[in-house]
Amino acid sequence: MQSIAAVLAEHPFMKGLTPRQLEVVAACGEKVHFKPGQFLCRDEEEVLRFYLVYQGRVAVEIFSHRRGAVTIRTLVEGEELGWLWFDKPYHWHLDARAVELTRTVALDVNCLRQACEADHDLGYEILKRYGHSLAVRFRILKLQLVDMYGG
Amino acid sequence: MVSEQPEVGSRAVVAAEDLQRLLDILKDRGYTVVGPAVRDGDLVLEELDGAGDLPRGLKDEAAPGAYRLTPGEEGRFFGIRVGQESWKKFFLPPTLDIMEARREAGGWRLVLPGQAPPRFACVGVRACDLAAIGVQDRTLRHGLHPDADYAARREGAFLVAVHCTDPGRTCFCASMGTGPQAVGGFDLALTELRQGGRQVFLVEVGSAAGAEVLAALPHQAADGSVVEEAAALIARAAADMGRTLETSGLKDFFYANYQNPHWEQVAGRCLSCGNCALVCPTCFCHSFEDVPDLSGDAVVRRRRQDVCFTLDHSYLHGGSIRVSPLSRYRQWLTHKLAAWQDQFGCSGCVGCGRCIAWCPVGIDLTREVAALRESDAETSPNP
Amino acid sequence: MTGQGHASAVVPVGEPMLPRIFRVVKRVRETADTFTFNLVPADGGQELAFQPGQFNMLTAFGAGEVPISISGDPARPETLVHTIRAVGSVTKVLCRAAKGDQIGVRGPYGTPWPVEQAKEQDVVIITGGLGLAPLRPAIYHVLGHRADYGNFELIYGARTPADIIFWRELERWRGRFDTRVHLTVDSAASDWRTNVGVVTHLIPRARFDPENTTALVCGPGVMMRFTVQELRNRGLPLERIFVSLERNMKCGLGLCGHCQLGPVFVCKDGPVFPYSRVRDWFEKREI
């Protein structure tokens, strides 16, 4: 069975961290699995965990009374959920539901934040990846907003 | 009097009074003779009953946003330059029914127009307009798909060109290399001048058809002095243009200047009325409409003249691509002076100056090009 | 290289504006506003041979004429297939056509997808919405000559699951061992089990060698622009990214002047272009 650090080493978000840094991050985490239909997080809950998906599929949903639960994004292996944990107000603004059997490494966000404060080199590496993740999401969101198929 | 068949390229002198004979000969040969005439105080191109319909003794004055007929040299047939109409009126008529679809028991049946188009003899085609006909030929006659009706009209046409000896104030054919001398594509070309106190035409033969017509006209050999004088008049005209347009590097200039700040200046004045495109002798845009009768069982497909200044011109999926008037003026000018070269191997502008006179706000493209170049020079980063 | 294909004997040569009459033999509803029509000649003339990527001018008698890409199999020209979305006055009438109704057809016109040049290369097709229709003939061609090509990836995006066209064929293609199909929608209800996200996000997952790949792209303008950027990020040169463009067309012959984009006429210099050729004008606004 793979150690958490080994799983992290292969995940695109953590790839490139030194073995020592991986151990520090792994110490904040545990493997958590979700059955189809189970929620990884729910709207308005406090953000306690940052999920790195390494198998399966997660539907990120926003609920509106008119349309019901609308899936705005799906995440698969190699992607992450909860990029907002780095920034206040530390509350989820959406639901995330496993569509298939999903395996993740769940990292405790307080632990991770403290580790970043204690070691700025690690902090910088995490922030770089966080910035990249934001940029990718922004590009996707912009295209979704434009509704390019409309009309 | 010389009467055997003249050669192509040869010259002869014809008396002004014999212009009527020329029109008669052309009519006898089955041509519909068309040329400049005056209607309601304006210069038009229409069918000529005789030489008497020509605007003899008249001249015209053109300026930005203005055009009028004025008294000119007495007896002179072609003192006028160009009016709002151009020869595309006959070769690419503003409306044309190209087919009819009739619903019958078994389905739709297509009916072609029965008549062949007229054969036009165009009398008084200025050098710029002759060049414009050649420019339109590249688009409509020599492209991947020739326009059948245009090609038939051109095939059957006889062109009597006129070399310019007195250019107008909005003319710049010399800059565009299209005049004042008419070059190529004519059957006959005339230079109107006075020789020994009489009004004559120095006639140049441009084709076998032209040679045949000249052979039937009373004419005399052209001596050296009249040829020289004609050449001198044309050379003087070339140096006396009303305007100039600097054409070097124009294509690359326009391609690099879509964001030139000067476009805003023009856009502030342009009404998007499309007059410039309507009067331009090379503009060829047209559209098609299916026009059903009240029963819906007979539908005429009609071709009609169009201009790129309408919102409809670039309409696609519920919106237009060129929404702002700026983009539409820019499209017209960039196409005319730049893209045309890549498309057809020549400029789309022949320097006739019509767009300057018929723009209601007097936009002068020679000035706009100069302003664009200045603006570009000011804002270009240092190398 | 294009011209009118086989000139039908029943339309006089030299009358390129006259349509042939075809008859609807089948009508399939793809989505709420998109339909696929199977047509056969009703004038006793030949079948319409075409190359993938070409289009016809279709006449709805009484309403007018519009350019519509051919969406059928070029190896089976006995049936002419068109997929039409009812967005304007003419397409709305066309989409009401029933079995037995007659439609005017002029064509085929335009430049084709570079299926010959793409031989021995990986082929990546990226399309969105109705853009899958002009690409379907190219897909048929690649699958019909599968050994001529390397990896074959199809990336298709739509606004919502209800906007996906050719659903059954997409499933069939995805089932092949020699083809990878990536499907995504911009948003979906919670019963949707595949991807939600934009088409461009799937490009990093496609398997192709950028040194040896031809990409075929068709879809809304925004989608094509962002797609080209992602492909460039993967190292694909602009000469091997082909796009199919659209403009207002009245004649399809390069005569009416409406379809110009800078110096090119989309009807005869396109609609398929290597991106390098149109980039300077496509990326500017209101051109």
Q: Kindly state the tokens that stand for B1.
A: 């009097």
pLDDT the model gives residue C7: 24
| Torsion, Cα of A19, A24, A27, A28 (10° steps) | -130
Among A29-33, B106-110, C243-247, name the one with the lowest average pLDDT.
B106-110
Q: Kindly state the tokens that stand for B190.
A: 């005339």
Helices and strands, number each (H, E), in chain B:
14, 16
Domain annotation covers residue A151: no
**pLDDT band for position C9 (cuts 50, 70, 90):** very low
State how far residue C181 is from chain B, nearest Cα, in angstroms. 28
Q: Which of A70, A100, A151 sits opposite C189 (nearest CB)?
A: A70
Residue C200 at interface with chain A, using a CB cutoff of 8 Å = yes
Residue C125's beta-bridge partner residues?
C154, C216
CB–CB contact C287 B286 (8 Å): no
CB–CB contact A139 C219 (8 Å): no
State how far residue C119 is from chain A, nearest Cα, in angstroms. 31
State how far residue A147 is from chain B, nearest Cα, in angstroms. 14
Q: Which of C12, C15, C255 sits opposite B143 (nearest CB)?
A: C255
Closest residue, chain C, to A98 (C-alpha): C193
With contacts defined as CB-CB under 8 Å, which chain B residues touch C102?
A: 107-108
Tell me the CA end-to-end span of chain C in Å, nearest whole number: 27
CB–CB contact C256 B299 (8 Å): no
Binding-site residues on chain C for chain B (CB distance < 8 A): 3-4, 12, 14-19, 21, 23, 42, 59, 61-65, 87-88, 102, 104, 246-248, 250-251, 253-258, 260, 262-263, 265, 268, 280, 284-287
Q: Are residues B281 and B147 in the same domain?
A: no
pLDDT the model gives residue B382: 59
Q: Kindly state the tokens that stand for B262.
A: 């000067």
How many CB atoms are closer than 10 A to CB C139?
25
Q: Are residues B185 and B259 in the same domain?
A: no
For tokens 């300077």, the residue is C280
**Per-chain mean pLDDT for chain C:** 92
Q: E-strand spans in B66-132?
A: 66-71, 95-104, 107-111, 120-126
Between helices B19-28 and B208-216, what is the axis angle to 10°? 120
pLDDT the model gives residue A148: 81
With contacts defined as CB-CB under 8 Å, which chain A residues touch C163?
A: 149
Contact B186, B209 (CB under 8 A): no
Domain annotation covers residue B5: no
Is residue A89 reached through a cis peptide bond, with omega within 30 degrees of 0 on the bond before it? yes
CB–CB contact B296 C62 (8 Å): yes
Q: Which domains does chain C have, with CATH numbers?
A: 20-109 (2.40.30.10), 122-244 (3.40.50.80)
Residue C196 at interface with chain A, using a CB cutoff of 8 Å = yes
Domain annotation covers residue B264: yes
Q: Which amino acid is at C149?
A: Y
Contact B283, B94 (CB under 8 A): no
Measured on CA atoms in the order A80, A86, A87, A90, is the torsion positive or negative?
positive
Between helices A120-146 and A109-118, what is the axis angle to 10°? 130
CB–CB contact A97 C197 (8 Å): no
Closest residue, chain A, to B316 (C-alpha): A151
State how far residue B315 is from chain A, nearest Cα, in angstroms. 13
Q: Are residues B265 and B209 in the same domain?
A: no
With contacts defined as CB-CB under 8 Å, which chain C residues touch A136?
A: 201
Angle C135-C137-C143 from CA coordinates, rounded to 5°: 105
Q: Which of B110, B306, B321 sits opposite C286 (nearest CB)?
A: B321
CA distance B262 to B266: 7
With contacts defined as CB-CB under 8 Å, which chain C residues touch B140?
A: 255
- Put the strands of the sheet holding B198-205 in their side by side order: B42-47, B32-39, B120-126, B158-162, B188-195, B198-205, B11-15, B220-221
pLDDT digits (tens, 9 = 90+) for C166-215: 999 999 999 999 999 999 999 898 888 889 989 999 999 999 999 999 99
pLDDT reading at A64 higher than 90:
no
Residue C187's beta-bridge partner residues?
none
pLDDT digits (tens, 9 = 90+) for A102-144: 999 999 999 999 999 999 999 999 999 989 988 888 888 888 8
Closest-CA residue to C195 (of C209, C181, C213, C208): C181
* Burial class, B317, CB count within 10 angstroms (exposed 0-12 / middle 13-18 / buried 19+): middle
From B218, B238, B258, the end of a domain falls on B238
Q: State phi, psi for B304 to the nearest 5 degrees.
A: -140, 150
The structural domain count of chain A equals 1
What secondary structure does DSSP assign to C103-132, as a single string? EEEEEEESBPP-TTTTTTSEEEEEEEGGGH
pLDDT the model gives residue C12: 42
Is residue B93 reached through a cis peptide bond, with omega within 30 degrees of 0 on the bond before it? no
Q: Are residues B305 and B206 in the same domain?
A: no
CB–CB contact B147 C255 (8 Å): yes
Is residue B180 reached through a cis peptide bond, with omega within 30 degrees of 0 on the bond before it? yes
Whole domain around residue A132: which residue ranges? 4-146
Closest residue, chain C, to B142 (C-alpha): C255
Whole domain around residue B338: which residue ranges? 250-379
For tokens 């009303």, the residue is B242
pLDDT the model gives residue C8: 23
CB–CB contact B308 C17 (8 Å): no
pLDDT reading at C115 higher than 60:
yes
Q: Are residues B221 and B256 in the same domain?
A: no
With contacts defined as CB-CB under 8 Å, which chain A residues touch B320?
A: none
Which CATH number characterizes residue A51's domain? 2.60.120.10
The structural domain count of chain B equals 2
Tell me whether strands C64-69 and A39-41 are parallel, antiparallel or unpaired.
Answer: unpaired
CA distance C187 to B285: 42
With contacts defined as CB-CB under 8 Å, which chain B residues touch C111?
A: none
Domain annotation covers residue A47: yes
Contact B5, B211 (CB under 8 A): yes
pLDDT digits (tens, 9 = 90+) for C42-85: 988 999 999 999 999 999 999 999 999 999 999 999 999 999 99
Q: Which of B145, B299, B303 sits opposite C254 (nearest CB)?
A: B145
| Residue of A77, A79, A100, A143 to mutate, interface with C, max C Cβ within 10 Å | A143
Average pLDDT for residues C213-227, to the nearest whole number?
94
With contacts defined as CB-CB under 8 Å, which chain B residues touch A151?
A: 317-319
Helices and strands, number each (H, E), in chain C:
5, 16
Interface of A with C in 2-31 (CB under 8 A): none
Contact C152, C160 (CB under 8 A): no
| Residue of C17, C90, C265 to mutate, interface with B, max B Cβ within 10 Å | C17
CB–CB contact C59 B327 (8 Å): no
pLDDT reading at C6 higher than 50:
no
Contact C198, A144 (CB under 8 A): yes
Q: Are residues B122 and B201 in the same domain?
A: yes
Q: Which of C158, C190, C195 sits opposite A61 (nearest CB)?
A: C190
Q: Are residues B205 and B105 in the same domain?
A: yes
CA distance B267 to B365: 13
pLDDT reading at A88 higher than 80:
no
pLDDT the model gives residue A83: 66
Residue C162 at interface with chain A, using a CB cutoff of 8 Å = no
Q: Are residues B95 and B179 in the same domain?
A: yes
With contacts defined as CB-CB under 8 Å, which chain B residues touch C15?
A: 112, 148
Chain A adjacent subunits, 3+ CB pairs under 8 A = B, C
pTM to 2 decimals?
Answer: 0.90
Q: Which of C129, C193, C226 sits opposite A149 (nearest CB)?
A: C129
pLDDT reading at C13 higher than 60:
no
CB–CB contact C198 A144 (8 Å): yes
Binding-site residues on chain B for chain A (CB distance < 8 A): 317-319
Q: Tell me the count of A-C CB pairs closer than 8 A.
A: 71
pLDDT the model gives residue C44: 87
Q: Which residues contact C262 (CB under 8 A, 6 or more apart)?
A: B255, B339, C278, C280, C281, C287
pLDDT digits (tens, 9 = 90+) for C265-279: 999 999 999 999 999
CA distance B172 to B337: 14
CA distance B167 to B289: 40
With contacts defined as CB-CB under 8 Å, which chain A residues touch C197?
A: 73-74, 140, 144
3-class SS letters over A61-94: EEEECCCEEEEEEEEECCCEECHHHHCCCCECCC
CA distance C196 to C202: 10
Contact B171, B81 (CB under 8 A): yes
Q: Which mean pLDDT values do the consecutive 10-residue runs of chain B (383 residues) have?
A: 77 97 98 98 97 97 97 96 98 95 92 89 98 98 92 96 97 97 96 93 97 96 94 97 96 97 96 98 97 94 96 91 96 98 98 98 98 91 60
Chain B adjacent subunits, 3+ CB pairs under 8 A = A, C
| Residue of A71, A95, A137, A145 to mutate, interface with C, max C Cβ within 10 Å | A71
Q: Which residues contact C211 (CB under 8 A, 6 or more apart)?
A: C235
Q: Tell me the count of A-B CB pairs closer than 8 A.
A: 3
Run of H or E residues at B174: helix B173-176
pLDDT reading at C3 higher than 60:
no
Domain annotation covers residue B244: no
CB–CB contact C255 B139 (8 Å): yes
3-class SS letters over chain A: CCCHHHHHHHCCCCCCCCHHHHHHHHCCEEEEEECCCCEEECCCCECCEEEEEEECEEEEEEEECCCEEEEEEEEECCCEECHHHHCCCCECCCEEEECCCEEEEEEEHHHHHHHHHHCHHHHHHHHHHHHHHHHHHHHHHHHHHHCCCCC
pLDDT the model gives residue B37: 98
Domain annotation covers residue B243: no
Residue A150 at interface with chain B, using a CB cutoff of 8 Å = no
Closest-CA residue to C157 (of C191, C126, C121, C188): C126
With contacts defined as CB-CB under 8 Å, which chain A residues touch B317?
A: 151
Q: Which amino acid is at C6?
A: H
Q: Are residues B102 and B196 in the same domain?
A: yes
Closest-CA residue to B301 (of A1, C238, C15): C15
Question: HSE on the CB side for B9, CA within 13 Å?
Answer: 0
CA distance C194 to C214: 26
Which DSSP state fits C239? Answer: G
Q: Which amino acid is at B352?
A: C
State how far residue A149 is from chain B, nearest Cα, in angstroms. 11
Q: Which of B107, B335, B338 sits opposite C21 (nearest CB)?
A: B107
Between helices A120-146 and C221-233, what is the axis angle to 10°? 150
Residues in chain B: 383
Residue A140 at interface with chain C, using a CB cutoff of 8 Å = yes
